[in-house]
Amino acid sequence: MTPPGTGNKNTTVISYTDSTGTYNDVTWTETALGVDTGDTSGMLKPNEQMTIDVKLPTTGPGTTGTGANLGTYGTFTIQIVPATGAAITIERTLPGLLGTSVDLN
């Protein structure tokens, strides 16, 4: 669980896909949630949880420089690929009414 740009080797890769294209290895940050063992190895330990914030891409393949473009009922997919183990794929559709903040859990 080492985010890119932290000086450590990024072994967890997060990709984002929507109607504008697929963006590999997007920028993300992690925040400990609840139990934090204080271990700096970058490995998620038993009973540890992390909140992952993914930064939407602003440019990339399949776009005209606008990047991710989500509106009402737009769908997107986030894929988390750890160094070992199975990838996790999350697909969500945005609601018909969007405010300033939307929790997509």
| Per-residue pLDDT, 63 | 44
CA distance 17 to 83: 20
Domain ranges of the chain: 13-93
The DSSP call for residue 60 is -
| Per-residue pLDDT, 89 | 96
CA distance 98 to 71: 8
| Per-residue pLDDT, 62 | 46
Q: Quickly state the pLDDT bin for 1 (edges 50, 70, 90).
A: low
pLDDT in tens, 3-53: 666 555 657 889 988 887 888 888 888 887 877 666 666 677 788 888 888
pLDDT in tens, 60-101: 554 444 566 677 888 899 999 887 788 999 999 988 876 666
| Per-residue pLDDT, 7 | 58
CA distance 32 to 48: 8
CA distance 90 to 76: 8
Amino acid letter for position 15 = S
Residue carrying structure tokens 């399949």: 62
